[in-house]
Amino acid sequence: MTSAFAKAIKLGLIGDNINRSKSPRLHKTAGQLTDLNVTYDRLIPNDMGMSFDEVFEQARLGGFRGVNVTYPYKETVTSSVTVADPFVRAIGAVNTVVFDEDGPKGFNTDYTGFIQTYRSAKGNENPGAVCLIGTGGVGKAVAFGLVSLNARLIRCVDLDANKADALARALQSLGSDTRVEVATDATVAVKGVDGIINCTPLGMAGIGGSPLPGAYMRDANWAFDAVYTPVETAFIQDARRAGLEVISGYELFFWQGVEAWKVFCNVPVDHAALRLAISGEDA
């Protein structure tokens, strides 16, 4: 072990409704596999009686190497970090932060993690036309990933039309060949698409529900749910019953975690060994 890592590497996750998150297990296990002493804390602003900004500042001053940031703070945190990657600046959401001597640095491993998630399931197959439901932090990252994968069409669906419009404009500004449309009703937007993606919090433990009734899924080919706690969401179950190929949110969790580990520690970890080690229930 190098002297730089002689003491514990303090990591954490800031978010709401994260008591069942598997991120602590992933990063602590990665530490064990690489002979690093890693701690990883769940930091829930409401439970701590603090605002997001207060929790973030406490982590920055408290010896943390970095934090992951999840719902609903991925866009909020962008005002507290420096983002070097212009593509991540365009996404407008950050899920990984490193506290460097010259200030907090922001990254988006949802974006890179989604690309790896899709390719691991579908190889080089084009995503085709996609109905993307939810245009918040993770929705933005996934949408940019779809552009990088050369999707033919992205229909951005959100009950808040202004959010969907803003994402559509950001995607169109990339100058890619991907066509972008906006809708507020998923049951209409899903018509004629190849893939259906849930990037809303619906389906999460403690929230439940689904953004789209199963009866409207039958004409698509594949579905992905960004929610991974639980892995078997109502959305995934409905998609499977409708005969779609399903990609679970656990895959995004795993690959964005691997990408975040690179950002935090920049120490190679055996992906297969890590997947196997965290495949059981949380310790």
Q: Which of 10, 22, 28, 74 is catalytic?
A: 74
DSSP structure string for 2-68: -GGGSS-EEEEEE-SS-TT-SHHHHHHHHHHHTT--EEEEEE-HHHHT--HHHHHHHHHHTTEEEEE
Residue 9 · residue 265 · CB < 8 Å: yes
**Length of the chain in terms of residues written:** 283
What is the Cα–Cα distance from 23 to 25, expressed in whole angstroms?
A: 5
What is the Cα–Cα distance from 35 to 5, expressed in whole angstroms?
A: 10
- According to DSSP, the residues that pair with 30 across neighbouring strands are none
Residue 41, classed as helix, strand or coil, is strand
Q: Is 74 assigned a catalytic role?
A: yes
The catalytic residues are: 74
